[in-house]
Amino acid sequence: MLKQRIVTAVVLLAILLPALFAASPWPFALLTLVLIAAAGWEWARLNGLAGAAALAYGGLTAVLCAGTLLSVGLHAMPAWVWWGVSLAWVLGGAYALSLGPAGWSRLGKAPRLALGLLCLWAAWLAMAQAKAMSINFLLSIFCLVWMADIAAYFGGRAFGKRKLAPAISPGKSWEGVWSGMAGVFALALLWAFVIDQQAAVDGPSLYQLLFVKFGWLIAMLALLLLSAMSVVGDLFESLIKRACGAKDSSGLLPGHGGVLDRVDALLPVFPLAMALASHSRYF
């Protein structure tokens, strides 16, 4: 299993890094479009479609994303779009988690499939437009989610006592959540006041932007919210898998599960990051 994970990670990096650091934002947009189509296929399978129907849903996800990008380009969407998606994630995520796995299944197939299209569309478009802003901005969002996850894992193992959502993800604890948030705060300070100031970056990071735009107190609260939403995204996918009895979203990434297993926490974070970045003096 470990060997599989390492080989898959190396192959993914070999494909992703050239697209990520390409001067044009289009290679990254096209590569992630393929991944989001795969995530759409996985979502369909987890929510009651199979065979050609699931493939068609993945194709529809890609067409919706590509059609939007061809219509608006890589320019930032109006702020109200991102704030609307973020509000839907906050309210809808809380509602879905309160229902639990059994309640999710009772929602009906059509609403669950429509919700998947919205989540995947918004996350992909936010990701593509974040890359167009700057690589530094994009990476700072990725690293926020990764730091929240890594710090939560080690903090939970060391201090975890109170279960966060035992019916959805028994391994997560409140202590892990607080550890993840502490890790994000430390990362934000390091990135904004060391990396952004001393490295030859191509634009401001999310952290620098938040500190400049909002000041220390509001910026820290925004980081707290972003960290919390990464947990919501993770729990949301766990809820869907538990509702249908699946361990992974698919086996597309040997040793890692599926695409959704790797991007679940990113789904709510990217639209929220774009909302917080809107109307700044940089973008």
Domain map (residue ranges) of the chain: 2-277
Q: Of the candidates 126, 120, 105, 80, which has an alpha carbon nearest to the alpha carbon of residue 274?
A: 126
User: Does pLDDT of 207 surpass 90?
Assistant: yes
Of 71-80, 126-135, 151-160, 203-212, the poorest mean pLDDT is in 71-80
- The angle that helices 174-190 and 216-244 make with each other, rounded to 10 degrees, is 140
pLDDT of residue 107: 86
Distance from C-alpha of 206 to C-alpha of 276, rounded to nearest angstrom: 9
- Listed ranges 5-14, 15-24, 229-238; the one with the highest mean pLDDT: 229-238
pLDDT of residue 279: 63
Average confidence (pLDDT) over 41-70: 94
Handedness of CA 149, 13, 139, 137 (dihedral sign): negative
pLDDT of residue 105: 84
pLDDT of residue 15: 87
Distance from C-alpha of 98 to C-alpha of 77, rounded to nearest angstrom: 31
Average confidence (pLDDT) over 86-105: 91
Whether residue 110 contacts residue 49, with contact meaning beta carbons closer than 8 Å, is answered with no
pLDDT of residue 199: 92
DSSP 184-198: HHHHHHHIIIIIHHH
Classify residue 76 by its DSSP letter.
Answer: P
Of 40-49, 71-80, 235-244, the poorest mean pLDDT is in 71-80
Distance from C-alpha of 154 to C-alpha of 143, rounded to nearest angstrom: 16
Per the listing, tokens 């939403």 go with 229
User: Does pLDDT of 3 surpass 80?
Assistant: no
Whether residue 110 contacts residue 255, with contact meaning beta carbons closer than 8 Å, is answered with no
* 80-93 residues labelled b (16+ CB within 10 A) or e (exposed): ebbbebbebbbebb
To the nearest whole percent, how much of the chain has pLDDT over 90? Answer: 69
Kindly indicate the confidence band of residue 78, based on its pLDDT and cuts at 50, 70 and 90: confident
Summarize pLDDT for 100-154 with one digit per residue, the tens.
888 898 888 999 999 999 999 999 999 999 998 999 999 999 999 999 999 999 9
How many helical (H) and strand (E) elements, i.e. helices and strands, does the chain have?
12, 2
Q: Which long-range contacts (CB under 8 A, 24 or more apart) does 95-104 make?
A: 96/236, 96/239, 97/165, 97/168, 97/232, 97/235, 97/236, 97/239, 100/167, 100/168, 100/239, 101/167, 101/168, 101/239, 101/242, 101/243, 102/243, 104/239, 104/240, 104/243
Residue 59, Cβ neighbours under 10 Å: how many? Answer: 13
User: Does pLDDT of 283 surpass 90?
Assistant: no
User: Does pLDDT of 255 surpass 80?
Assistant: no
User: Does pLDDT of 220 surpass 80?
Assistant: yes
pLDDT of residue 154: 94
pLDDT of residue 252: 86
